[in-house]
Amino acid sequence: MSSPALERSILHVDMDAFYASIEQRERPELRNCPVVVGGSPQGRGVVAAASYEAREFGVYSAMPASRAYRLCPQAIFVKPRIAFYAEIGQQVRDILGTFTPLVEPLSLDEAFLDVTGTEKLHGSAIEIGRSIKQRIFEELQLVASVGIAPNKFLAKIASDHDKPDGFTIVPPDRIAEFLDPLPIRRLWGVGKQSESRLQAFGVETIGDLKRFPIDTLTSTFGEKMGRHLFRLCLGEDKRAVIPDHEAVSISHETTFAEDISDREILRAVLQQLTDQVARRLRRQAAKAGTVQLKIRYENFQTYTRSVSLPVPTDLTRELWEAVRGLFETRLPDRPLTVRLLGMGVTHLHRGKTHQTLLFGNSELKRDRQLDSVRDKIVKKFGVQGLQPGTGLNPSRDTRSGPYGQES
C-alpha cells in the first residue's frame, strides 16, 4: 500500500448550474426564479441548462423544452449565449491555472486538478479547494462545488455529493465509508437499464456491488465492463490528470438525464460536442488525424466508430462532416434510444501541417476565417454574434455549445 506521502491529491471543480447561474448573475430579476436556458418550448428546442429552482420541478438539460414547460410553466426561458458562457469558463480556468499547471478541462464548467506536491506553494489540497471556491465567488460572483480525493473518479463523485455549493473530501482511509452507501447509479456507466439489472440481483448500493461475485458481474455486463465496474466500486482509478497541451486525444461526451430517441436532438448534441472539441484543438494549435464517435444505448451496449481523415484538420466543419457520417452510416440499423453520446479526436499533430482541401480553397478559407472569428469572440468579447444557428433548435445547423447534463 502506498504511503500517505505518495497519495495523489486530485480536485474536481464543477460550476453549479453554470449557464443558468450566469444569467441570474447578469439579470438580478432572475435570481431565485426557475430559469431554463434553451430553445423555445413552442418549437423543437432543447434545454441546455436549468437553475436549481427549475430542477425542483424535474427540469434537466437535454430535455425537450416543451416538456420542461409542462413540468414548470412558470419557468423563465432564456436564449443561450454560448460565447459569453465560454468566456466565463475561460476565466474559471485562469483561476484554476494559478494553483497548478495540471488542469484537465472536461467542458466549459468543470475540470480536474492535480495538486500533488504543491503544498509549499499553496497549502494543502483542502486549503487549495477552499481558495478556489472563494476566488470564483469573489471574482466571478458564481458558485463552484469541489471534490477532493486520491483519484479522478472519487473526486468527481465528491464534487457532486453535496451540490450546490458543495465541498466534499474523501480521504484515502475513508473511501469505503464514502462509497459503500451510495446508490449504484453513481458509478460511471450505470444507467437505468443496468441499474435495473443489478437491482434484480439485490444490488442497490455500491457496497452491495462490492460483495457481488465478479464472475456474475462479467457474465452479465461483459468482461471489460464487469471488471471496470468492480474496480470502481473499490474506488480504484489510475488515470492521470492530463492538461490540454499534453493530451494525445481530445473528447467530450454527455450522459443524458433521460434516454434520448429523437435523432434531431442527438444530431444537435453531437454538433455541440464537435464544436467544443474543435475549439480545444485550435487552442492547443493541434490538428486531428482521426475522428471518433461514441454512443451508448439504453441497454448498456456501447459502440465506438472512427474514421481517419485525409489530412489532419482543426476546422469545425470538416470534423463535423466526419462525425456526422459516422452517426448517419456506421451505427447498427436499429432505433436509437441513447444514454450517452460522445465525440473525440486522436492522432493529434502539433505544428504546421497542410490543410485538406475537402471543400475547395474558397470554402476552406471561409471556414478558417469563421472559426477564427468565433474563437476570438469567445476569448475576448463574450457576445453571441456570428454564431451559425441558435444552438438549441435541432432542425438547424448549429455549432454553439454542449447539451450535456449540467451540474
Buried b / exposed e across 140-176, counting CB within 10 Å, b at 16+? bebbbbbbbbbbbbbbbbbbbbebbebbbbbeeeebe
What the block records as the C-alpha cell of 302 is: 456501447
Contact, 237 vs 152, CB < 8 A? yes
- Distance from the Cα of residue 178 to its chain's centroid: 24
What the block records as the C-alpha cell of 31 is: 435570481
d(CA 359, CA 390) in angstroms, rounded, equals 24
d(CA 157, CA 170) in angstroms, rounded, equals 10
Residue 60 CB contacts under 8 Å (≥ 6 apart), including other chains: 47, 50, 257, 258, 405
**Catalytically annotated residue among 53, 110, 253, 318:** 110
Q: Does the active-site annotation cover 264? A: no
d(CA 404, CA 389) in angstroms, rounded, equals 18
Concatenated DSSP letters of 44-104: T-BEEEE-HHHHTTT--TTSBHHHHHHH-TT-EEE---HHHHHHHHHHHHHHHHTT-S-EE
User: Would strands 144-149 and 167-169 be described as parallel, antiparallel, or unpaired?
Assistant: parallel
Contact, 118 vs 128, CB < 8 A? yes
Give catalytic residues, as residue numbers: 110
